[in-house]
Structure 1
Amino acid sequence: MKKVALFLANGFEEIEALATVDILRRARIAVETISIAEEKTVTGAHNIPVIADKTFQEADFSGVEVLVLPGGMPGAKNLNEHEALKKLITQFDAEGKLIAAICAAPMVLGGLALLKDKRATCYPGFEAELTGAQTTGENVVVDGNITTGRGPGLVFEFALRLVEQIAGLKTRQEVQNGLLL
């Protein structure tokens, strides 16, 4: 089973991060939350503190096959300013590994030119940050190894799409049914 790293930056969108972790774990997918701050406690955009599994410095990404970036502001901006994370994302893209970002977080991928000539979506108003992308306005877009989602109200669709990509349609349907969706 593929291992997932979901990154938390101060100002992250709590719904996007925690619902994604919850849904992936319901599918029995190994997910580690990684703080890009120096400490494990990260405070979301709505002042909810969350304790990450590890800090970026403590994390071992050698077994990780999927990176997930939740949005929120200034969370997405903070992710975008973390040079080691951007280097890791670039490496994953070069290896064709799955990268997912929702809400404002696709701006990180856009800034790295990873969305050039790809279809993508994001929170309304961030389209200009998706350099070179064909922005669709769809809820969730998969183009190659990159999955993007539009925003917090669509996190179930976003996370279930990741479940499908990682564990298959049958597992997605099981989790979806269990959530009464």
Structure 2
Amino acid sequence: MAKAYVFLADGFEDIEALAPVDILRRGGIDVKTVSINATDMVASAHGVQVKADMMFADADFSDADLLMLPGGMPGAKNLDEHEGVRAALVRHAEQQKLIGAICAAPMVLGHLGLLRGKRATCYPGFETELEGATYTAEPCTADGNIITGKGPGASFAYAYRLLEEFKGASIVAELKKGMMYEF
């Protein structure tokens, strides 16, 4: 079974974190939410308290098939400033494993140089943070081992695209039908 880790920092965007967690789990992916805080409780950008499945310090991520960064502010900034998250992303990218980032979070990948020569999208206003990337303005952009999403409204499209990497288009189509995603 594929394994995904979703990094949560105070100020994460609710739907950008939890919609992908839900969709990936429905699709049979083993997803763990990971707090980068001092406790397992993480506050979303809208004040929703979420108990993460695990603490950052309790995982080495070597078994990860996907590392995912939700957006939201100051959540994305908090992820960008966390040296452990940055190091995990670089190691993951060196192995050409899948990385997902949505909204403001692609800036973390840009700051690490992981978007050089790739196509990517992000929340409007963060385009200059996608260092070396070609900005697409698409709801969701996949390029090699990187999948980026534009913002909250693209959360479902982004999550389905991540799932497609592991399960294929037919499984995603079945899940969309069952979830009444008719767009």
Structure 2 counterpart of 1:83, which letter? E
2: CA distance, partners of 1:155 / 1:18: 9
Q: Map 1:41-80 to 2 at 5 A.
A: 41-80=41-80
Q: Map 1:1-181 to 2 at 5 A.
A: 1-181=1-181
Q: After superposition, what is the alpha-carbon deviation per residue over 1:79-134, rounded to whole angstroms, capped at 9, x for unaligned?
A: 00000110110011010000000000000000001101110000000001111110
- Across the aligned residues of Structure 1 and Structure 2, the Cα RMSD in angstroms comes to 0.7
Structure 2 counterpart of 1:161, which letter? R
Structure 1 runs of 4+ off > 3 angstroms?
none
2: CA distance, partners of 1:111 / 1:62: 22
* Length-normalised TM-score, structure 2: 0.97
Identity of aligned residues (%): 55
Structure 1 counterpart of 2:126, which letter? F
2: CA distance, partners of 1:60 / 1:118: 27
1: CA distance, partners of 2:136 / 2:63: 32
SS at match of 1:37: coil
Q: Structure 2: give runs of 5+ residues left out of the alignment.
A: none
1: CA distance, partners of 2:133 / 2:60: 31
- Equivalent residues, number: 181
Q: Structure 1: give runs of 5+ residues left out of the alignment.
A: none
Shift of 1:62: 2.2
